[in-house]
Structure 1
Amino acid sequence: MIRIHVFVEGQTEETFVKEILCEHLQQKDIYLNPILVRTSSTNKGGVVSYAKIKPQLNRKCLEDDSAFVTTMFDLYRLPNDFPGSSSIPSTNDPFQKAEYLEQQMSADIKHQNFLPNLLVHEFEGLLYSNPQAFLVWFDQSIVDSLQAERNLFLSPEHINEGPTTAPSKQIIRCCLGYEKPLHGSLIAMDIGLDTIRQQCQHFNQWLTRLENISGGNG
């Protein structure tokens, strides 16, 4: 069995990996192990400093070079010390931006079993794959508002990273009472992995890469 350690930012992403991605990849004899990043000796969650994250990634890559290590970090609000953050190409294409930063992170980690990945722009963007899934928790007018926002963009991953217009900010503004740890992973489950993959190009490319791992790190 192929083993992949997935570093995540928070409990919602951890649940998403456990409840959705693990089950899917187990069918391909691939075992995922979600790991919540540490921000201090006592606290977990959030990528507030790359300097605190890098040793964790390096250590896991070295602990078992027969396994793979990947990430599920938000492109939105990456710390200023993240590799490549000071030299991002001038582009309106979110995929080019994410791929550039992933390449920079890969060059910085330097392990063959490391597979960098950033969510474009954040986990909540995946939930725009089907705003109708919010109807389980919120009324139709809210769903209509979310759908209207989704319709303004080419894809859920194009919903931008502005401080007031990022996916999470828009959902919180529309959905009074929205709690990411409670609602986020449950809504993602209702949407389903197939729909998320169809709507979210960069996410799908990452998952396809994991699916196609055949063993070995060469």
Structure 2
Amino acid sequence: MKKYVNLNILAEGQAEREFAQNTLGPYFEPLGILVDSRCVITSRKKHKKGGLGNYLQAKNDLIRWISEEKGRHPFFTTMFDLYALPNNFPKFEESLKIIDPYKRVEFLENALFEDIDYLKFIPYIQLHEFEALLLANPEILLWSM
């Protein structure tokens, strides 16, 4: 029987969640990685999901999900856009001094890793807004590389 690794992705919004489920899931399954994803819950009263308006909401969702999965010990990651990260994101103000966008993303991912403090957490922050990539012409993206 094949042994699987579980990867749980906390997505900023519905588009990222759908991408994780419908694209990453089928891609990784033959490699022995099972993908599950959830959106950040933005309002518990209205059961609204999506958008990263407040970092503490995302952190609480992630910590809650980690505790729900105690017996399985899956890997966790995020799909957050750098664009419009909330001001209360870990070390956000410090990151504004970093001019190189790639180094800024790396700095923020490290700050997020430290804040969550879970060894199987691999933070991911998307440099460019995910929805913009969906609307881009793939041939132009290939040509520019």
TM-score (norm 2): 0.84
Deviations 1:33-86 (A, max 9, x none): 010110111211110000111111112222224111110010000000000101
Task: Please point out which of 44, 57, 62 is paired with 2:62.
Answer: 57
Question: Is 1:78–2:85 an aligned residue pair?
Answer: yes
Task: Please point out which of 127, 131, 137 is paired with 2:137.
Answer: 131
Map 1:1-218 onto structure 2 (within 5 A).
1-41=4-44, 42-65=47-70, 66-88=73-95, 90-127=97-134, 131=137
- 1:92 partner amino acid: I
TM-score (norm 1): 0.58
Higher strand share goes to which structure?
A: 2
Between 13-22 and 32-41, report the one with greater CA deviation. 13-22
Bigger radius of gyration, 1 or 2? 1
Provide the C-alpha distance between the structure 1 equivalents of 2:67 and 2:55, rounded to a whole number of angstroms.
Answer: 18
- What are structure 2's unaligned runs of at least 5 residues? none
Deviations 1:189-208 (A, max 9, x none): xxxxxxxxxx6xxxxxxxxx
Residue 125 of structure 1: how far off its partner (Å): 4.3
User: RMSD over aligned Cα, in angstroms?
Assistant: 2.2
Aligned residues: 137
In the superposition, relative to structure 1, how do residues 28 and 85 fare at CA in structure 2: closer, same or farther (>3 Å)?
same
**1:32 is paired with a residue of what secondary structure?**
strand
In the superposition, relative to structure 1, how do residues 7 and 93 fare at CA in structure 2: closer, same or farther (>3 Å)?
same
Provide the C-alpha distance between the structure 2 equivalents of 1:20 and 1:132, rounded to a whole number of angstroms.
Answer: 16
Identity %: 35
